[in-house]
Amino acid sequence: MPFLTSSSLASDPTYLEPRISDIESKTKQHANQIENVSKDVIPPQQDFIALLRNHTVSQKVYTRMLGDRTLDVLVQLRGNKVAHYTLRKDTKDDYVKLEDCAISNLSVVAQKVHAINYKSDTGAMQKVNPPNYYTTTVGDTFTFTFDGTGFDFQHFTDNRGGLWEFKVDGTVVKTISTHIHAVPTNELKVNYGIRPVARGLAKGTHIVIATFKGDDPANAPASGANTSRGWVKNDTGYAQAAEAHKTALLYDDLLNPVKEIDLLVPFSNKEFAFRMKPNGSSVNAEWIPEHSVATVFKVSQKMYIDDQEITSWIADTTVKEAQMVRAVQLMRGFHPSDLTTALCEIYSVHTVTHKGVTFDIKIRWLKDTFIEDGYVAMLPGSRPFVEKLVDATGQSLDTIASDNSFNDIPNGEKITSYAMFNTTGTDYVVAMKINHIHASLRKGQTGLRNPLVWLQHRDATLQKLYPQVYKNYTAKAGETHQFSATYYVGELPFAAQLLM
């Protein structure tokens, strides 16, 4: 065989044609890869959470205990305006979820904080029929000390009632008649009075001395002159002790949030909602967490304010400064037809700070489970506040219709951030960002709605964004799904102009 030079190879079709074909094949392969990558590229996107944070200076956070596994978290925006978040346990099941995303006004008002009995008395106080003590001797006294800025006096009332004179820190502040004809209608509770005595006192400890002054000149006692009774409540040792039976209701000037407007609809699920049933079962699918029946129950559940675990859920109107609130929950999800066999485990962490509310959740399926519909990171806009939805690419939709129609969101599987706002009245904005978008939205997996994200114009009160990550899907035992999102309530001047 003769030796082939490069020039002879170049002219040999048996040598070149396979190689040219191979090059063309690889070129097409790379072109397809580039095309697929370009289709998957996330378009340039605005991070609405970061935008709103950049326009918020204050980092003050407050909390208020509302009751069983329920508390407010208030984040100062400016002046007395606060972003108002609420973490609340479901009504029927155990899951604690984000309920409120609202704007409130935080101001100082006198609030009832405690109820006490008087501590000492002088003279001939009659105590045989507690909690209704009385004296008929002019000059008799009772005394108590309290911390706060005011108090109400509680007493039994009838047509024999007489006068008490109240001194606070040595100064006469009020005279109260316990005669039933002297008790204003709004201060009368069937057969006893709740009588405001002092408000606006300096914060601190105060000494109260009440002195019986005898008959009420304007309302003579039915039992005759100089026979009036100075009634006073006191339930010391009384078997039916209660706030209504104590001497004084104490007030203090405390921060109090008054809701201005809901940006998202309370109680409408935000984290997730899966309508499911045991695979192969003939029962109707039901929602986790609770929609109308209990379906999620705790294995372990802890909530913290800063580093302190909350161990008492007694409601407390006191608004206190904090830095962070956290809910850490291991739950199990059931179909209500069988509350002994869990279909899934739910690992859930909510953290609330001045940066907003972030949840990270992982579902682990314990049994093969059929999911008819499943949503994560929902945005239930509250009407009439919400007028526009804008996505991170700048595309916007009206949120006005109330006919239960819907709009699909183009490229919803790629969009990480959304905002809802009002175009005509306020600069308030509520934003949501989907974290770890590929995992959260189950990228590349089966059983997704197509298009994946849609906006429902449900009715006159609700405009809800649904990333629908399950549609008629069978989750196998051992399968997991992890998802995360952040919610933020803020203000942005010219929001309608800057966000679209």
- Within this chain, do residues 171 and 215 fall inside the same structural domain, yes or no? yes
Q: Say which DSSP state 230 is in.
A: E
CATH at residue 316 = 2.70.98
- For 233, residues 6+ apart whose C-beta sits below 8 A from its C-beta are 117, 131, 132, 133, 154, 155, 156, 192, 244, 245, 246, 247
Cα–Cα distance for residue pair 375/392, rounded to 1 Å: 19
Write down the pLDDT at residue 425.
Answer: 79
4 — pLDDT class (breaks 50, 70, 90): very low
492 and 353, same structural domain? Answer: yes
**Lookup result for tokens 């606006």:** 200
- The answer on 473 and 353 residing in a single domain is yes
- pLDDT on residue 15: 52
Using only C-alpha atoms, the chain has a radius of gyration, in whole angstroms, of 34
Alpha-carbon distance of 122 to 42, in angstroms, equals 81
pLDDT digit string, tens, across residues 411-466: 999 999 999 999 987 899 999 999 999 999 999 999 999 999 999 999 999 999 99
Query: Which residue, 356, 469, 453, 441, is CA-closest to 397?
Result: 453
Residues 233 and 273 in one domain: no
Q: Are 408 and 453 in contact (CB under 8 A)?
A: yes
Please tell me which residue, 315 or 57, carries the higher pLDDT value. 315
Please report which helix (H) or strand (E) contains residue 137, including its range.
none
Write the CATH number for 164. Answer: 2.60.120.260
Q: Is residue 22 part of a domain?
A: no
Query: How far is Cα 375 from Cα 56, in angstroms, rounded to an integer?
Result: 30
- Write out the E strands in 162-315: 163-168, 171-177, 188-189, 192-198, 205-214, 230-233, 248-262, 272-278, 286-288, 296-305, 308-309
Cβ atoms of 409 and 453 closer than 8 Å: yes
Residues 453-463: pLDDT tens digits? Answer: 999 999 999 99
Query: Does residue 447 share a domain with residue 372?
Result: yes
Listed residues 188, 213, 246: the one ending a domain: 246
End position of a domain, from candidates 188, 217, 246: 246
pLDDT value at residue 493: 94
Following DSSP, what letter does each residue of 96-133 receive, concatenated? Answer: EEEEEEEEEEEEEEEEEEEEE---EEES--B-SSTTEE
Give me the pLDDT at residue 25, please.
Answer: 63
In the predicted model, what is the mean pLDDT of residues 125-150?
A: 98
**Could you tell me how far CA 23 lies from the centroid of its own chain?**
61
Is 203 domain-assigned? yes
Range of the domain at 212: 118-246
Question: Element (H or E) spanning 156, and its range?
Answer: strand 150-156
| Full-model pTM | 0.81
